[in-house]
Structure 1
């Protein structure tokens, strides 16, 4: 009876084993890349600050009051850029306000923005961790 090993020997064929080191390397690289992307996603949101304007009030031709709330990381100070716009969406007032660190995640504020002309709206342009 002829066996597979006898045929392989007769015709010079060699049995190859699966390249296990290649599979191990590929899995290792996959795990590292997945972990790196996961960490980058988490790290980019750690200092994320959310801001929502909840209202505004035109006081007179030279000021507007903006009501807004922010959500920020605990224990981190925050700065926000507030702006007032006219009827053509031109910026007629701008103010940077800084808020100290707090143990509250969400806070509400009311700030007055001085303007150079009559404003038709007040809003929060952006906020960031300082």
Structure 2
């Protein structure tokens, strides 16, 4: 007896090859590429709106004022908003101020701001900054 001849179509069916199996893989690959593209775009957009802050120091001006010096690096031509804080020895907030800086063509800018306080402050700092 002669062995049966196996055709390529029968081999494809036996081992899961063929057009029926390729379509889900192609669709899955396309979805994966699209997802990677979306997450990549979100990452780029998120970093494009980042504001870096460098505290340069503080001065306990008097019993009612703390002066904070800092530098920001932010996207050019975008307004920046910052929250400044004065804290006491137990890190409680004894003064704060929200500052709005207009858009500027300069990416890096330095500022010195005064924060009014309601208690004895031991430090002044920038809590956070963001673009709008």
Q: TM-score, normalised by structure 2?
A: 0.85
1:54 equivalent to 2:50? Answer no
> Paired residue for 1:95?
97
Give me the whole-angstrom Cα distance separating, in 2, the residues matched to 1:88 and 1:47: 33
Mind listing any 5+ residue stretches in structure 2 that lack a counterpart? none
Task: Check conservation: 1:60, 1:118, Cα contact below 8 A.
Answer: no
Aligned to 1:104: 106
Aligned positions, number: 124
Alignment of 1:1-130 (within 5 A): 6-8=4-6, 14-16=10-12, 17-18=17-18, 19-130=21-132
CA drift at 1:26: 2.4
Say which SS state the counterpart of residue 64 (structure 1) adopts.
strand
Counterpart Cα distance in 1 of 2:122 and 2:46: 35
Q: What is the RMSD computed on CA atoms of the aligned residues? A: 1.9
What's the TM-score once normalised by structure 1's chain length?
0.86
- CA deviation after TM superposition for structure 1 residue 114, in Å: 0.7
* Structure 1: runs of 5 or more not aligned: none
Moved over 6 A (4+): none
Shift of residue 49, structure 1, vs aligned partner: 1.2
